[in-house]
């Protein structure tokens, strides 16, 4: 898994015993180099010769993915049935009928000698869906409880939630920005890739007027199913809002406001659209942001914990999810939830690249 945070590659080796929770056997993380991160970030906006640049970046990603796969299976030779690879999203435009994730799955199959399942989102979009989020199907498989009403929040670059009532319909959608804006802001001002523990945000005070303008983003008022990305939430949008202030705001206060934006947009979605929820469980990079978790606890009337409390390490839930989605594909089983994505029905997702 590599996501909108552009931090690196998560590789998880997992087993799915019948009737048992998923079993995380081994895991490995490889960070992106500064050069690759900059290259991928630049490809999110149009530029000269971008098709060639995207193809070259896809090859570089495939080699990094292969290194991550080899590292995670090093002590388990011969035990792997397939690789599920999300790829790196460059464009996500379901309103125009397409999504683009690069990573050259054919090269990854060649380098690893393993079958590779990739391009999970395109079939859902072809069926009229958003193509995202896809992890709610895995959340429902692994984390749904017979009596407790849980909500799972995956906070990566974008934040998404999965509503898991004990019975009835499972729903899920992107609530808005997760870490993406905070990461970009601290990179610009302090040269750091992320705000460890939310410490810089905690050193500032959120600005009510800026927060109101951020919360006025049209996406936040749209009813689910819906999905978001850098197309909606980016520094250009933030900069345009900041220009309306006659006096520049302290950079730490802006960071605090961005954190509050993530907390409020997520908590509001839970309160408004997940009636009866009893607890929120967080996974993804946001699970390590103690300041963000504290604000979520302020805005929600029930416990907020990480998925570690449910037996799944929050750092590896998404990688587990795409391993499970690859397994679904190989078993010719649906991987989407139409109630989540808005697709016309269940669909087998992904394209298989044989070994």
Question: Three-state SS for 136?
Answer: helix
Q: Kindly give the pairing relationship between strand 98-102 and strand 158-164.
A: unpaired
pLDDT digits (tens, 9 = 90+) for 67-125: 999 999 998 878 899 999 999 999 999 999 999 999 999 999 999 999 999 999 999 99
The CATH class given to the 8-131+316-353 domain equals: alpha beta
- Reference 20, options 152, 141, 150, 134; nearest CA is 141
Q: Does domain 135-310 have CATH number 3.30.420.40?
A: yes
pLDDT digits (tens, 9 = 90+) for 198-228: 999 999 999 999 999 999 999 999 999 999 9
pLDDT digits (tens, 9 = 90+) for 116-166: 999 999 999 999 999 999 999 999 999 999 999 999 999 999 999 999 999
In the chain, the largest separation of any two C-alpha atoms, in whole Å, equals 63
Query: Could you tell me where the DSSP H helices lie in the chain?
Result: 34-42, 50-73, 105-112, 121-126, 135-143, 180-190, 199-203, 208-215, 218-221, 235-242, 251-273, 290-299, 317-330, 338-341
Q: Is the pLDDT of residue 19 over 90?
A: no
Cβ atoms 108, 62 nearer than 8 A: yes
Q: Is the pLDDT of residue 305 over 90?
A: yes
- Evaluate whether 8-131+316-353 and 135-310 have a shared fold: yes
| Mean of the per-residue pLDDT values of the chain | 96
Q: Residues 229-240: what's their mean pLDDT?
A: 95
pLDDT digits (tens, 9 = 90+) for 33-69: 999 999 999 999 999 999 999 999 999 999 999 999 9
Q: Residues 17-21: what's their mean pLDDT?
A: 88
Place of tokens 């006659």: 246
pLDDT of residue 79: 82
Q: What does the domain layout of the chain look like in residue ranges?
A: 8-131+316-353, 135-310
pLDDT of residue 105: 98
Distance, first Cα to last Cα, the chain: 20
C-alpha triplet 343, 346, 350: angle, nearest 5°: 90
Q: Is the pLDDT of residue 318 over 90?
A: yes
Place of tokens 């197309």: 231
Expressed in percent and rounded to 5, the helix, strand and coil fractions of the chain are: 45, 20, 40
pLDDT of residue 4: 86
pTM of the model: 0.94
**Within its chain, how far is the Cα of 265 from the centroid?**
16
pLDDT band for position 22 (50/70/90)?
Answer: very high
pLDDT of residue 205: 98
């Amino acid at each position: 898994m590599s996501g909108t945070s552009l931090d690196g590659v998560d590789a998880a080796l997992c087993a799915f015993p019948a009737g048992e929770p998923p079993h995380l056997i081994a895991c490995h993380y490889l960070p992106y180099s500064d050069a690759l991160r900059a290259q991928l970030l630049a490809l999110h906006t149009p530029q000269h010769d971008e098709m060639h640049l995207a193809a070259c970046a896809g090859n570089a990603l495939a080699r990094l993915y292969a290194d991550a796969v080899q590292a995670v299976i090093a002590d388990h030779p011969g035990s792997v049935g397939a690789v599920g690879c999300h790829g790196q999203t460059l464009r996500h435009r379901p309103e125009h009928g397409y999504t683009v994730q690069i990573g050259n799955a054919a090269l990854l199959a060649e380098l690893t000698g393993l079958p590779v399942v990739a391009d999970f989102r395109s079939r859902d979009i072809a069926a009229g869906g958003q193509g995202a989020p896809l992890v709610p199907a895995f959340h429902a498989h692994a984390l749904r409880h017979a009596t407790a009403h849980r909500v799972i929040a995956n906070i990566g670059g974008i934040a998404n939630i999965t509503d898991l009532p004990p019975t009835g319909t499972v729903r899920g959608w992107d609530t808005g920005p997760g870490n993406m804006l905070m990461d970009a802001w601290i990179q610009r001002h302090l040269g750091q890739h992320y705000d460890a523990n939310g410490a810089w945000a905690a050193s500032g005070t959120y600005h009510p007027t800026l927060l109101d303008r951020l919360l006025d983003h049209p996406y936040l008022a749209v009813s689910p199913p819906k999905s978001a990305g850098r197309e909606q939430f980016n520094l250009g949008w933030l900069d345009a809002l900041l220009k309306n202030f006659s006096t520049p705001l302290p950079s730490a206060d802006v960071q605090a406001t961005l954190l509050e934006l993530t907390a409020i947009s997520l908590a509001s979605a839970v309160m408004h659209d997940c009636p009866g929820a009893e607890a929120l469980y967080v996974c993804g990079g946001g699970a390590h942001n103690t300041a963000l978790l504290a604000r979520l606890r302020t805005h929600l009337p029930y416990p907020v914990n990480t998925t570690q409390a449910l037996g799944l390490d929050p750092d590896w839930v998404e990688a587990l999810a795409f391993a499970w989605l690859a397994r679904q594909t190989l078993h010719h089983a649906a991987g989407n939830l139409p109630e989540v994505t808005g697709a016309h029905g269940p669909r087998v997702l992904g394209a298989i690249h044989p070994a």
